Amino acid sequence: MASSSFLLFTAILALVSWQALASDPGPLQDFCVADNSSRVLVNGFVCKDPKAVTAEDFFLAAKLDMPRDTKMSKVGSNVTLVNVMKIAGLNTLGISLARIDYAPLGENPPHTHPRATEILTVLEGTLYVGFVTSNPENKLFSKELRKGDVFVFPQGLIHFQFNPNPYKPAVAIAALSSQNPGAITIANAVFGSNPMISDDILAKAFQVEKKTVDWLQAQFWSNV
């Protein structure tokens, strides 16, 4: 009986520990500024000597008040990400942000953030946004947002934003719960992988002819 209780306790402890480690590691000191010159490989970045830390390690002249160019993007959007690679002081703090500019009828196409939940605030314009739940339901939660509205995209779920206005651009700011949230754009990953996924596999997965897959794979896929 005691052995069974111990095994149950161990299993619960392992489950709780896994949940505790399922996001960015928490800081064990006031800060751990990333030392980008270190060659030591860790989950995140090695801490810079605190005595060498300055205010500049927590600062970036990001000019997030300035509009971004969306004309070079095939999907009509421009994401300006501010993460630990831009501000070393974000290391271990579990947060980053992005400015997203949308051209008229532009979109931030379906994608996921494998390491972060996202909370998005519309600064200008209107956005139609949504996310899809995991299998088997694949339920779509969507909403039209206006200036000042806020929407949450749970970690790891496929989501998107679209500017339905054919005449006016839109702007949003997104906060993400990781110093390095990552992004996987679905179309790019599936049809633009390197090396390419077999067209036999994709034809069966999407229930289309191989020539359709071949055409999609021949397109120029860019993460912008």
Q: Going by C-beta distance under 8 Å and a sequence separation of 6 or more, which residues neighbour residue 70?
A: 76, 77, 78, 101, 102, 103, 106, 169
The residue written with tokens 């500017």 in the block is 163
Q: Is 108 labelled a binding residue?
A: yes
- Pair 147, 123: CB distance under 8 Å: yes
- Pair 57, 90: CB distance under 8 Å: no
Angle between helices 199-206 and 210-217 (to 10 degrees): 110
**For residue 82, what are the β-bridge partners?**
97
Q: Is 113 labelled a binding residue?
A: yes
End-to-end CA distance of the chain: 59
206: number of Cβ within 10 Å? 13
The residue written with tokens 């501010």 in the block is 82
Collapse the DSSP code of 204 into the 3-class scheme (helix H, G, I; strand E, B; otherwise coil) and give the result.
helix
Q: What are phi and psi of 172, to 5 degrees?
A: -140, 155
Q: Which residues are annotated as a binding site for oxalate?
A: 108, 113, 118
Q: Which residues are annotated as a binding site for Mn(2+)?
A: 111, 113, 118, 159
Q: Which residues are annotated as a binding site?
A: 108, 111, 113, 118, 159
